[in-house]
Amino acid sequence: MESVSFRQMKDGKKEEYEMLHKIEADFATLLPDRILGCLRALENSLGGYQIDRLQHSLQTATRAENDGADEEMIVAALIHDLGDELAPYNHSQYAASIIRPYVRPEVTWVINYHGLFQNFYYVHFFGGDPNERDFYKDHPYYQSCVNFCEAWDQASFDPDYPTFPLEHFEPMVRRIFTRPAFDPRYVGDERMGVSPERSVA
């Protein structure tokens, strides 16, 4: 495999960065496969519930679809807990960062804050404030996140709920995650106050 000659990025040449850009672009086309692989791995993730994390993710997405959610929100519901493996204390932000380049700001915001909003259902058992989410009550996406948690996320631990398999959602995953990253047609101009990374390292 061809590689650059530099050992420090500041020494790189234009043609080397052009080569790296092409490699990165090709690698990005396989993102849907990696997303689907990470979802399958949730089958052996965090335990203790009546269903595994994959089934929880599938059930959340199934409920979203059954309620008429659009494809962006359905896919977001599917991947909302992907961070459980590597970011157990900020899994919401992890998942939001994955989907952010491909969907409208509302979807990213809901996924980014769903963990905080989920606290409403149980954090009082540990001395926490279940209404901490109300800090955002004047935000335009507040109610969307309340609805996401109430109708889909917190409800999706039911082993008897008819749930679509991962294969049902695969075409949606492929459509969303093969969009051009940060395309204004999908993400608009709002980027949560953060500039997108332009990574080659």
- In whole angstroms, give the CA distance from residue 57 to residue 175: 18
Indicate the range of 6-10, 106-110, 139-143, 189-193 predicted with least confidence.
189-193
The tokens for 12 are: 């790189």
d(CA 159, CA 52): 9
**Phi, psi at residue 41, to the nearest 5°?**
-65, -20
Tell me the C-alpha distance between 188 and 179, whole Å: 13
Q: Is pLDDT at 197 greater than 50 in this prediction?
A: no
Q: Which domains does the chain have, with CATH numbers?
A: 24-187 (1.10.3210.10)
Distance (Å, rounded) from C-alpha 152 to C-alpha 138?
22
Average of per-residue pLDDT across 11-31? 92
**Which runs of E-coded beta strand occur in 141-183?**
none
Label residue 193 by pLDDT band (50, 70, 90).
very low
Distance CA 188, CA 158 (A): 36
Percentage of the chain exceeding pLDDT 70:
94
**Residue 1 CA, distance from chain mean position:** 32
Which pLDDT does position 190 carry in this prediction?
A: 55
Task: Please name which of 48, 40, 47 lies closest in space to residue 166, comparing C-alpha atoms.
Answer: 40
Is the pLDDT at 1 greater than 70, yes or no?
Answer: no
Segment 135-191, tens digit of pLDDT: 999 999 999 999 999 999 999 999 999 999 999 999 999 999 999 999 999 998 754
pLDDT greater than 50 at residue 114? yes
